[in-house]
Structure 1
Amino acid sequence: MSVTLILFCKKPAPGIGKQRLAETLGTNAALRIASLLHDCALEQLRLWRGPKVLATAVAADVDGYRQCYPDIDRVLAQPAGSLGERINHIDRIMRSEGHERQIIIGSDTPEQTPARLEEAASGLERHDIFLAPATDGGVSLMATRRGWPDLGPLPWSTGELGEALARSCADSGLDVGWGHACPDVDLPSDLVRLKRSLAADRRPAQRALHALLQELI
């Protein structure tokens, strides 16, 4: 059975996203980093072997994404609401269109590899829900074969998210499996690690990000 990869993202713009980086590096540098993080996520999506879906936070960006990336199978807008509510909404749409198995990623894990995505796809053979932790207590990806419980009340963007998400799924009778952790990028200290870890990465977007980090830090 095919597994659909869904990227939840927001097109970078000045003053939007990675503001904790902007506090230290300045608005322009933070925007350059956010733009390349966005490129890395798009590359992960476009290299996926199965159906590819992009869920943008800004409805006005839908047509632009469709024109720039015709190889992405479906581009749609996220609704208003918390991230959990938006995920529930997109999940219902995808499930109504026959996308039973889904992996969700964001745009702040450039160290995510195809092998980690395949691990999640394989995990759905054994589990209803498959999560990969982020090193800050959140999740670096989340995958399902049976849909999600109500995600609205969960503590999104906190270090308690991973445990709360797993507990909510288990309380709803869903079997939860875990994969390998992948760090995300939120703080200036993350960039030092990222510069080291991307040194041997040959993917074009990751190479561009590594070059920028060499320039900035």
Structure 2
Amino acid sequence: MPGRCVVVMAKRPREGAVKTRLGADLGEEAACRLYEAFLFDTLDACAAADATTMVAFTPATEAAWFRHLAPGLLLSAQPEGSFGERLRAAMQAAFGAGFSTVAVIGSDVPHLRSATIDAGLDIAARGTAALAPTADGGYCLLALGAPRPGLFEDIDWSSGRELAQTIQRIRDSELDFEMLTETFDIDTLADLRRLARAIAEGEATCRRTADTLRLLDLELLELEPVP
């Protein structure tokens, strides 16, 4: 039976190159450590899903680092270009590898559950697009049962309009879609506070991120230390 693939959009964790808005509040080292934890938790969720994992990584010169990070996983270097062009290339890499159903996800939603990935792939297997919206007007998961490169064109990335514009592209292509439960990605200190609270209350499970939060100065989060 043709396989399912979840593609993780990932950056090599380097100070000053990842989670810059968090870095402005927490410092670049802390932001980098957090992003690396986000990435590990994301890969753990993918490993628990009923799908093969592919990492679409950047910079393209970091293949060896990602091969060491995720031995045995499929790798695809992100091309230069807009985020839409890189998303389209990641999707195409998975479909080009022979997978019949593909979900692409971000690496800054460490609390994303494997069940959500599976649900999106199940929907896509029926010929319907699946989207997991985020609270900032974007989305953290898009699953498709066939390549649809037009879905990534003319999108105002990082504007808060990505979800609405993508839905319009889906409608323009006469493709049905279903929405998964809304969540949030981690871009700002407010997002991190929300995640820390969800971990403390048992609503989110992301072990590496929780461990990293324990090691950081949590006074900025205005929360009790994560148990």
Q: Identify which range, 150-159 or 62-71, moves more after superposition.
A: 62-71
Q: In structure 1, what is the equivalent of residue 149 of structure 2?
A: 149
Cα drift, residue 15 of structure 1: 0.7
Cα drift, residue 112 of structure 1: 0.6
Q: Deviations over 1:20-59 (max 9, x none)?
A: 1122222222222222122222222333332110010111
- The 1-side partners of 2:101 and 2:123 are apart by 11
Amino acid at match of 1:163: A
1:1-150 correspondence runs (5 A): 1-72=2-73, 74-150=74-150
- The 1-side partners of 2:84 and 2:59 are apart by 16
Change (3 A) 1:140 1:212: farther
Q: In structure 1, what is the equivalent of residue 173 of structure 2?
A: 172
Change (3 A) 1:190 1:99: same
Q: In structure 2, what is the equivalent of residue 207 of structure 1?
A: 210
Amino acid at match of 1:47: A
RMSD between aligned residues: 1.9
Q: Deviations over 1:166-200 (max 9, x none)?
A: 11111012111111111111111111111111223
Cα drift, residue 210 of structure 1: 4.1
Contact residue 7 and residue 104 of structure 2 kept, 8 A: yes
Contact residue 128 and residue 144 of structure 2 kept, 8 A: yes
Structure 1: any 5+ residue segments left out of the alignment?
none
- The 2-side partners of 1:63 and 1:112 are apart by 26
Cα drift, residue 149 of structure 1: 3.3
Amino acid at match of 2:174: G
Change (3 A) 1:27 1:214: closer
- The 2-side partners of 1:148 and 1:163 are apart by 17
Change (3 A) 1:125 1:94: closer
Q: Deviations over 1:119-173 (max 9, x none)?
A: 2122224442110100111002111112223213211112100010111111012
Cα drift, residue 202 of structure 1: 5.0
Q: In structure 2, what is the equivalent of residue 189 of structure 1?
A: 190
- Provide the aligned length of Structure 1 versus Structure 2: 216
Contact residue 108 and residue 184 of structure 1 kept, 8 A: yes
Q: Secondary structure at the match of 1:6?
A: strand
Contact residue 135 and residue 182 of structure 2 kept, 8 A: yes
- The 2-side partners of 1:46 and 1:58 are apart by 23
- The 1-side partners of 2:98 and 2:62 are apart by 25
Cα drift, residue 206 of structure 1: 3.7
Q: Deviations over 1:88-146 (max 9, x none)?
A: 22322322221121011111111211121122122224442110100111002111112
